[in-house]
């Protein structure tokens, strides 16, 4: 299995993701510059966190125009796993690969802390094998993580089991008290209808080794690898 980690000007979590795949999981991963035009030979794609193009215009609005994004769309259309983390989630929204948009956090402040999230489905490439209701403790770090979507689209996400994670308490309670950014319905991660394209605000790469204070994020990368190893679901 071979994973592409896309690198934009301003990406800053690409090396962390490469380390997790190559050194922790023993799966080959390669950084791919955003101006490349082919992802031939890759079995999955990670779009890492950071500040692509300095977050000018809107987060992800310029990155969606990079040449590599046509290949990301092509790979996604084949059913292979595509996961966007934080800025990567914003890029997937701007690219139309996932529905909805990001607003500034309701506090209008950058939020950087650990949160608990409740897994809502095990049919996505990021949560394959994780039972519904599993609680993960993961870091977040963003200024624009306030996910929103129209009423009809929200119903569609719920009806089609596309909500992957919600912010919660440590025992899985979902409510405003556990919502770090004002995200609609405490949504922390969503997928496309097929489940292979996932966007998430938490950073699993910052919680995949005990030396980092926890390894709950490792389960997400293992799920991603499991999806890719088995091919299209």
Residue 193: strand pairing partners: none
pLDDT band at 228 (very low <50, low <70, confident <90, very high): confident
In sequence order, what are the residues at sequence separation of 6 or more whose Cβ sits closer than 8 angstroms to the Cβ of residue 6?
14, 31, 32, 34, 45, 46, 47, 48, 68, 72, 88
What stretches of 107-222 adopt beta strand conformation (E)?
111-119, 135-142, 146-148, 163-168, 187-191, 197-200
For residue 217, pLDDT over 80 is answered with yes
The pLDDT assigned to 229 comes to 67
List domains and CATH numbers for the chain: 2-226 (3.40.50.880)
The pLDDT assigned to 57 comes to 87
What mean pLDDT, rounded, does the chain reach? 95
Q: Which of 54, 79, 30 is nearest to 193 (CA)?
A: 79
- 114, 215, 99, 171 alpha-carbon torsion, rounded to 10°: -60
pLDDT band at 208 (very low <50, low <70, confident <90, very high): very high
Express each pLDDT in 122-148 by its tens digit: 999 999 989 999 999 999 999 999 999
- Other beta carbons within 10 angstroms of residue 80's beta carbon come to 22
Where helices occur in 26-112 by DSSP H, the ranges are 68-77, 87-94
For residue 230, pLDDT over 70 is answered with no
Express each pLDDT in 29-76 by its tens digit: 999 999 999 999 999 999 999 999 999 889 999 999 999 999 999 999
Rg (CA), the chain: 16
Residue 223: strand pairing partners: none
The pLDDT assigned to 232 comes to 45
For residue 231, pLDDT over 60 is answered with no
For residue 233, pLDDT over 50 is answered with no
The catalytic site residues sit at 86, 203, 205
> What's the predicted TM-score (pTM) here?
0.95
């Amino acid at each position: 299995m071979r994973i592409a980690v896309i690198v934009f000007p301003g990406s800053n979590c690409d090396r962390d993701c490469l380390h997790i795949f190559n050194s922790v999981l023993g799966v080959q991963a390669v950084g791919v510059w955003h101006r490349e035009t082919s992802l031939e030979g890759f079995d999955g794609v990670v779009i890492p966190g950071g500040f692509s193009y300095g977050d000018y215009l809107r987060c992800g609005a310029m990155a969606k125009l990079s040449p590599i994004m046509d290949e990301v769309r092509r790979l996604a259309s084949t059913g292979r796993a595509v996961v966007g983390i934080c800025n990567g989630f914003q890029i997937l929204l701007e690219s139309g690969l996932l529905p909805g948009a990001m607003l500034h956090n309701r506090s209008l402040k950058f939020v950087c802390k650990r949160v608990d999230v409740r897994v809502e489905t095990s049919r996505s490439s990021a949560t394959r094998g994780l039972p519904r209701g599993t609680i993960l403790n993961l870091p977040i770090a963003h200024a624009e993580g306030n996910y929103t979507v129209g009423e009809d689209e929200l119903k569609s996400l719920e009806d089609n089991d596309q909500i992957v994670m919600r912010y919660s308490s440590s025992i899985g309670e979902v409510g405003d008290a556990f919502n770090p950014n004002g995200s609609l319905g405490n949504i922390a991660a969503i997928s496309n209808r097929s489940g292979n394209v996932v966007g998430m605000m938490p950073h699993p790469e910052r919680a995949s080794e005990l030396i980092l204070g926890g390894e709950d994020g490792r389960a997400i990368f293992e799920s991603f690898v499991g999806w890719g190893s088995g091919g299209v679901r």
